[in-house]
Structure 1
Amino acid sequence: MGPRRWIESWPVLRQFTDGDRTGRGAAAKSRVSESLTPRTSGADKVVKSICPYCAVGCAQNVYVKDGEVTHIEGDPDSPVSRGRLCPKGSASLQLTTGPAREDRVLYRRPYGTEWESLDLDTAMDMIADRVLDAREHGWQSEVDGLVTNRTLGFAHLGGATLDNEENYLLKKLYTALGAVQIENQARI
């Protein structure tokens, strides 16, 4: 490459000679940048999601290839975050693919001293069985002659990381199960 061609390849010179005064078009491109492909170009599909870290509800685009999450970025269509994510939201890919991700549950039996590892399906079945058992044993059809149709056998305390829609659905679920003690951490 001769000296003249080398000088003409400078982005600043191209910025002024090509009419790209802001330097965001052709002036910012190079042979290397022209050969790059986006990290998300190989994805089979994009799934819309919400960042799980706080109650702001920043929208995310989750890129999936062969059933595996490959990349997560902010959703530019979101009126809440407009495509931006905080450092924690930007690192949320680690929640799904990171080596520290837990896919088993530690369980200690009543009066036990040791923890044992259970798979998620077994743990979910145990929770469902206990909820139904507590509902059945704590059911009150009426109290002092008034129809109540409720259970005092379990309660729910929600977390502040849930958005309004999740809290709404949880309230509906626990109300349908007959629970009356439903509260959220954000109100306490």
Structure 2
Amino acid sequence: MGVGDWLRSWPVYRQLTGADPLGRGSAAQSARSRSLVPRTASADRVVHSVCPYCAVGCAQNVYVKDEQVVQIEGNPDSPISRGRLCPKGSASKQLVTGPQRVQKVLYRAPYGTQWQELDLPTAMDMVAERVLDARRKGWQDRDEHGNTLRRTMGLASLGGATLDNEENFLIKKLFTALGAIQIENQARI
């Protein structure tokens, strides 16, 4: 690299001699930074979502390539957050792609002494079967006077204060739809 090449590669020289006197554009770019492309440019599609952390409800654009999340950014069309995310929301990609994400469920059979790993679909099927079984066993269609009840005494829910309002609202709707009447939240107790 000669002196002339070195001088032309120097940002201050490009700033003083080029079309970018304030040094905010091409004068400040190196050859490497000119070749960079955003992670979002290669995405196959954009999925709209909501940040899972708090009850504010900041909208997110989730960029997906080959069915893998490549980037999560704030959605500028959101009237709530206008494209901004807090540090936790900005790092929410780690929830999906981080190496610490649990991919298996630990299960210990009744009276068992050892844990066994189950894949998530198997565990979800087991939970669904047990919920429906408890609902069926505790179902009350009518009381002793013939009044319609349509409820189950086999299910109850106690929500925690770590859940946000939306999660507790959805849990309330789910358990009400299942026919449960014992639905409570720690924040209300």
Normalising by the smaller structure, the TM-score range is: 0.7 to 0.9
* Native 8 Å contact 1:142 1:148 kept in 2: yes
Structure 1 residues 28 and 181, CA gap change in structure 2 (3 angstroms): farther
Q: From the superposition, tell whether residues 14 and 50 of structure 1 become closer, same or farther in structure 2 (CA, over 3 Å).
A: farther
Q: Secondary structure at the match of 1:85?
A: coil
Aligned match of 1:81:
81
Correspondence for 2:172: 171
**Cα gap change, 1:137/1:33 in structure 2, threshold over 3 Å: closer, same or farther?**
same
Distance, in Å, in 2 between the alignment partners of 1:74 and 1:91 is 11
Flag the 1:90–1:149 CA change in 2: closer, same or farther, 3 A.
same
Q: Distance in 2 between matches of 1:115 and 1:3?
A: 64
Task: Pick 1 or 2: higher relative contact order, CA cutoff 8 A, min separation 6.
Answer: 1
Q: In structure 2, which of residues 6, 14, 17 is the aligned counterpart of residue 9 of structure 1? A: 14
Q: How many residues align?
A: 182
> Which residue identity is paired with 1:155?
A
The reply on whether 1:111 has 2:116 as its aligned counterpart is no
TM-score (norm 2): 0.79
The 3 A distance-change label for structure 1 pair 100 and 4 is closer
Q: Could you list the per-position Cα deviations for residues 78-97 of structure 1 after superposition, in whole angstroms to 9, with x for gaps in the alignment?
A: 12222222222222112111
Residue 132 of structure 1 corresponds to: 132
Deviates more, 1:107-116 or 1:42-51: 107-116
Identity within the alignment, %: 64
Tell me which residue corresponds to 1:150.
Answer: 151
Letter in 1 for 2:53: Y
Alpha-carbon offset, residue 42 of structure 1: 0.4
Q: Distance in 2 between matches of 1:47 and 1:179?
A: 34
CA distance in 1, matches of 2:131, 2:17: 68
Aligned CA RMSD, in angstroms, stands at: 2.9
> Unmatched 5+ residue regions in structure 1?
none
Question: Any runs of at least 4 consecutive aligned residues in structure 1 with deviations exceeding 6 A, and if so which?
Answer: 2-5
Conserved? CA contact 1:72–1:90, under 8 Å: yes
User: Any residues of structure 2 matched to 1:14-163 within 5 Å, and which?
Assistant: 31-145=31-145, 146-158=147-159, 160-162=162-164
Question: Residue 121 of structure 1: CA displacement?
Answer: 1.2
- TM-score normalized with structure 1 length: 0.79
The runs of 5 or more residues in structure 2 that have no matched partner are none
Q: Partners in 2 of 1:147 and 1:24 — Cα distance? A: 73
Displacement of 1:144 after TM fit?
4.4
